Amino acid sequence: MDYRLLADIAMLAGEIMLQGGAETYRVEDTMQRILNTSGAEKTEVLVISTALMITIDDPSVATISKMMRITTRGTNLGDICDVNALSRKFCNGEITPEEMYEELKKLGERKLYSPAVSYLCTVVTVVMFSMLLGGNATDALFAGVSALIMVLFRVLFEKRGLNRFMHHMVALACATFLLTVSQALSHVNINMELVVAGTAMPLLPGVAITNAIRDILQGDYISGAARVTEAIVRAVSCAVGIGIGLYLGNLVTGGVL
């Protein structure tokens, strides 16, 4: 058994799952099952929301310890599902360690959607949420323009690698400000609450809160607390951005809404 290759497999699987938004206990379970195939005397896995750590200890080899820092996290249920399927095949002996590692590498490098498709989906999501909340065609039109502003800021922040919390705050502040000014100048009657709510909806930390609760219920209090903190900060950044945008918009337009 190549213990180092097995350690690399476990780390790569955990990295893909954690970056895809998997719960901490699910990542730990998958990595532990992979390491258990080694037959080593002792294998340990520790996963928190920002790091992966493993240890393989056996009298026949020197102790192997690995740690990886996770800096980017999102939501990709497809990757989580695919890693789970591969880990089951590997643990059942259906594929070799070399095949498992190559499949994971391909999965980690896979790009399911182009940036253009992602940006288009953001616009459609904002428009649909605005209408779902009770908006009309005019509200949907303004929501679409607001979504384009969000996409523009997303492109700018991604190119510069800036903090996503600042991205949420600045993007929502600018979008809300321009919505307020546009409404005042065009004298078009729109439901500002619905449009702003639809604009903010893709940025709200629903998945983070859900995973935080599931981690806490599983006893992973460190990861759960970290995810709760992340969700609160994201929610606060959205609220502050909207507040700044409304304040500046009302200041410029003289409070005419």
Residue 255 — pLDDT band, cuts 50, 70, 90?
low
Q: Which residue has the higher pLDDT, 188 or 117?
A: 117
Give the mean pLDDT of 67-71.
88
Q: Which residue has the higher pLDDT, 30 or 154?
A: 30
- Structure letter (DSSP) for residue 97: H
Share of the chain above pLDDT 70, in %: 98
**For residue 257, pLDDT beyond 50:** no
Residue 162 — pLDDT band, cuts 50, 70, 90?
low
The predicted model scores a pTM of 0.77
Task: Indicate left, alpha or beta for 198 from its phi (over 0: left) and psi (-120 to 50: alpha).
Answer: alpha
pLDDT in tens, 220-246: 888 888 888 888 888 898 899 999 988
Give the mean pLDDT of 45-58.
89
pLDDT in tens, 70-108: 887 778 888 899 999 999 999 998 999 999 999 999 988
Contact indicator for 183, 257 with CB cutoff of 8 Å: yes
**For residue 43, pLDDT beyond 80:** yes
Give the mean pLDDT of 185-204.
84
Average pLDDT, the chain: 86
Residue 119 — pLDDT band, cuts 50, 70, 90?
confident
Give the mean pLDDT of 16-29.
89
User: In degrees to the nearest 10, what's the CA dihedral of 235, 240, 243, 244?
Assistant: -150
Contacts of 224 (CB under 8 A, 6+ apart): 24, 212, 213, 215, 216
